Amino acid sequence: MIMNRRFFLLASLYALLNPKQAFAANKLDSVRIWAAPESTRVVFDLSNSPDYSYFTLTGPQRLVVDIKGAGSKVDLGNITNNSKLIKKVRFSKPPQKGTLRVVLDLVKPVKANLFTLAPTAPYGNRLVVDLNDSATALPKAKTVRKSANHAERDIVIAIDAGHGGEDPGSIGPSGIYEKKITLAIAKRLERLINQTNGMQAVMTRTGDYFVNLNKRSELARVNKADLLISIHADAFTSPQPRGASVWVLSMRRANTEIGRWLEKREKHSELLGGAGEIIQNTNSEQYLAMTLLDMSMNSSMAISHSIADDILKDLDQITHLHKKKPESASFAVLKSPDIPSLLVETGFISNPREERELSNGNHQEKVAKAIHHGVLRYFESNPPSGTLLAKNSNIKHTVKRGESLSVIAKRYQVSVSSIKNANNLKSNMLKINQKLVIPRT
């Protein structure tokens, strides 16, 4: 009886001294901030699924989050905050007993989106706050490099490092996260592409933060990318599967996306460029848009398959292949049938041996080089018009009756010696129907 009375007195005293913990069925264990260049994600780690509400205040700008039946001992002053949108995260006086009030002091007005996430390794229950800068809600395009005379542009390759921030991706046997491996390989690929004359890389993320899957394809489109490559690492429930693979958009997903685009007339100009503006507000706009989008989709998917084949050839030289041919899937990041897109599974992170390889810088460099070689080989053979690679690409010529090296050289305004060097010719003798490479001056 005395023990029960003592326990009651101690519990009452604790409740008075710790009102945030009293009546708390839920517990806020930690707060994590993931900052991206134009947005910030704040994650509340909780013991249970939260019952929450929120509102914003101005003068100064604040976002107030109330979590019912919750308490916390977290020291918010020790949170790592590298966000350009958040000044401070703090507790405030709750509207009623048993509610935990958290205030985000903001730098400027933002768009806030709150939602919960169920437990998934390595995290438990979470309340997620996504903050987007109102002034930069849409992706910004990078300046595409041009040659010295400003006539030809670079081929733009959008590189997407899978997962990031709150989304770790798959987790290897030793505990390494897929998001870390994908970013490391993506950065190596970015360097190789930017070192290639006539090519330029655009990254969907450059650090450890999450980018919405829809925004990744939007970033590629805004930057007028000629190709989108998404880097991932595969996983399975058992450690046996291994090998790399390359995936392209499935026809079913492509048709679904085209159907959605056709319903949004304001998107026609964005997706079809000048052609979209020409057909806009015409009686046949829907049918013309469907025809043009279908043609665009067929072209993009054919290009995706060709590049995927080229990349697989190079990956086969440095690692085991899980799939010898390109596979089709409905991955969200490959949702744009107007942009050639592919997803590279660099290996199985769930396989202990491949996890070690994928964590190794030398192997990451080999994977990046294999992807780069495959992409470059395709675009050297099929350079888009108006690009520097198109200008510098060699011309193919079939020798006709009566043609000599001097005649051919004069026609293309190159020297005889340059044609001989490009074709390893030992003499000036030619044969009818002989194939010659004509080097660009």
pLDDT tens digits along 373-392? 999 999 987 888 888 888 77
Could you tell me the two tokens for 301? 């998917």
For the chain, what is the largest distance between any 2 Cα atoms, rounded to a whole number of angstroms?
117
**pLDDT, average across residues 294-323:** 87
Task: Give the per-residue SS3 of 360-410.
Answer: CHHHHHHHHHHHHHHHHHHHHHCCCCCEHHHHHCCEEEECCCCCCHHHHHH
Give the helix ranges, DSSP H, for 58-107: none
Q: What is the pLDDT of residue 274?
A: 40
Give 80-88's long-range contacts (Cβ < 8 A, gap of 24+): 80/33, 81/33, 81/35, 82/33, 82/35, 83/33, 83/35, 83/40, 83/131, 84/35, 84/40, 84/133, 85/35, 85/39, 85/40, 85/110, 85/131, 85/133, 86/33, 86/40, 86/42, 86/131
pLDDT over 50 at 11, yes or no: no
Answer whether residue 358 shows pLDDT above 60. yes
Superfamily of domain 155-384: Zn-dependent exopeptidases (3.40.630.40)
195 CB contacts (<8 Å, ≥6 apart)?
A: none
Q: Which residue has the higher pLDDT, 333 or 170?
A: 170
What pLDDT does residue 8 have?
A: 45
Comparing 247 with 422, the larger pLDDT belongs to 247
Does 141 score more than 70 pLDDT?
A: no
- The pLDDT assigned to 1 comes to 47
More confident residue, 297 or 53: 53
Is pLDDT of 177 > 70? yes
Q: How far is CA 101 from CA 22, 59, 71, 75, 410, in A?
A: 14, 19, 9, 14, 81
Helix or strand run (H / E) with residue 114: strand 110-117
Neighbours of 118 (CB within 10 A): 9
Q: Residue 267 pLDDT > 70, yes or no?
A: no
DSSP state of 66: E
Task: Count CB atoms within 10 A of the CB of residue 245.
Answer: 23
Q: Does CATH place domain 394-438 in 3.10.350.10?
A: yes
When comparing pLDDT for 143 and 77, which is higher?
A: 77
Give residue 380's Cα distance to chain centre. 24
Q: Does pTM surpass 0.85?
A: no
Does residue 263 carry a pLDDT above 80? Answer: no
Please choose, from the candidates 113, 110, 118, the residue with its C-alpha nearest in 3D space to the C-alpha of residue 46: 118
Higher-confidence position of 225 and 298? 225
How is residue 134 annotated by DSSP?
G
When pLDDT is cut at 50, 70 and 90, the band that residue 264 belongs to is low
AA letter at 213:
L
pLDDT in tens, 45-91: 999 999 999 999 999 999 999 999 999 999 999 999 999 999 999 99
153, pLDDT greater than 70: yes
pLDDT, residue 412, reads 79
Omega before residue 168 within 30° of 0, cis: no
pLDDT in tens, 309-340: 999 999 999 999 999 999 887 777 776 667 89
At 257 the pLDDT is: 54
> Beta 341-348 vs 395-398: how paired, if at all?
unpaired
Give 349's pLDDT tier (boundaries 50, 70, 90): very high
Q: Is the pLDDT of residue 22 over 80?
A: no
- Mean pLDDT (the chain) is 83
396-438 pLDDT, tens digit each? 788 988 899 998 888 878 889 888 888 888 889 999 999 888 8
pLDDT of residue 277: 41
Higher per-residue pLDDT: 49 or 258: 49
Spans of all domains in the chain: 15-136, 155-384, 394-438
Tell me the mean pLDDT in the region 148-176. Answer: 89
**Under 8 Å between Cβ of 177 and 169:** yes
pLDDT of residue 2: 46
Residue 166 has pLDDT above 80, yes or no: yes
Say whether domain 15-136 belongs to CATH 1.10.260.40: no
pLDDT at 147: 52
